[in-house]
Amino acid sequence: MRGEIEGPMIRVDDLVTHFGERRILNHVSLDIQQGETMVILGGSGTGKSTLLRHMVRLEMPTSGHIYIKGQDVCHMPDGKFNEIRRKMGMLFQSAALFNSMTIEENVSLPLRELTELEEPTIRIMTRIKLDLVGLSGVENFMPAQLSGGMKKRAGLARALAMDPEILLFDEPSAGLDPITAAGIDMLILRLKQAFRMTIVVVTHELPSAFLIADRMTVMQRGEIVAVGTPDEVRNHPDPRVQQFMNRVPEDEARDVQAYLRTLTE
């Protein structure tokens, strides 16, 4: 069905990004292979979501490149990138459904706007995508009428509308109860088995990460500290990785002298 490509599906090459003066990503390089599920782990503010946003060009790097199927997406015109973007789906942290549209309109929007399909075909495809994520019978609801978990599922249905080859998840279980979050994990696993999509998940939930990952990346302070299979990462010698795996808090002991000085300055 899908042509095999040479090299990795997504290649991040020496990416550096600043927000103002602050460096968010510090020489990040990462390869994500076709058909694998890559989980990017890290605490809050480590730049993992920013890295994900670069892959869909919501952010532009200060320097470095991102290649998707071998094409440099940071330095190509919008029109050309739109072609690539159509084969990518993204589920946002807040699901990002359009609040002024029904669930059906939300999911069918990409089909309506980007394809020449007939209305009945669009309706059937929308129904299929909603069934796929376990949301039947809510087509005419507004997003505000759905629970957090259902919104995520609807957002996923919309991300799947164009049959993407690459699916990106930004904190899929954020703000969900453990049971609903587990449901989303199962859904990701099912999608992975059924469609052989390349999946990138940004999360800080360890159980969920070890459940779905083929390979994982651990980030800290804008740098990648470990890449490997779940077992390799679990047994990684780097103390920063172990700190994250064992949920050890940041060292709070500080230099008393220095602290007093900051108070009196």
Partner 1 sequence: MWTAPLALIGRNALGLIRYASGLSELTAKTVYWTFVAPFKGLGLKGRSAVHQAVLVGYTAVPIVFVISFFVGMVLAFQGAYQLEKLGATYFVAALVGVSMTRELGPLITAVVVAGRSGSAFAAEIGTMKVSEEIDALEVMGLNSVKYLVVPKYLAMVVMLPCLTIISDMAGMLGGAAFGAAQLDQAVTMYATATSEALVMKDISTGLVKSVVFGAVITTVGCYEGFSVRGGAEGVGKATTSSVVVSIFSVIVSDLLFTALFYYTN
Residues forming contacts to partner 1 in the complex (CB under 8 A) are 53, 56-58, 82, 85-86, 88, 90, 92-94, 96-99, 109-110, 113-114, 158, 162
Please report how the helices 103-114 and 119-132 are oriented relative to each other, as an axis angle in degrees rounded to 10.
130
Nearer to partner 1, 166 or 233 (CB): 166
Residue 122 CB, shortest distance to partner 1, in Å, is: 15
Task: Kindly state the tokens that stand for 139.
Answer: 């087509």
Q: Which is nearer to partner 1, 19 or 128 (CB)?
A: 19
The residue (of 149 and 244) whose beta carbon lies closer to partner 1 is: 149
Q: How far is the CB of 89 from partner 1 (least distance, A)?
A: 8
Residue in the block written with tokens 């302070």: 221
Q: How far is CA 7 from CA 10, 31, 160, 217, in A?
A: 9, 9, 24, 19
Residue with the two structure tokens 């047994």: 235
CB of 58 to partner 1, least distance (A): 5
Closer to partner 1 by CB, 39 or 161: give it. 161
Give the residue with the Cβ less far from partner 1, 57 or 196. Answer: 57
Q: How far is the CB of 66 from partner 1 (least distance, A)?
A: 14
CB of 203 to partner 1, least distance (A): 17
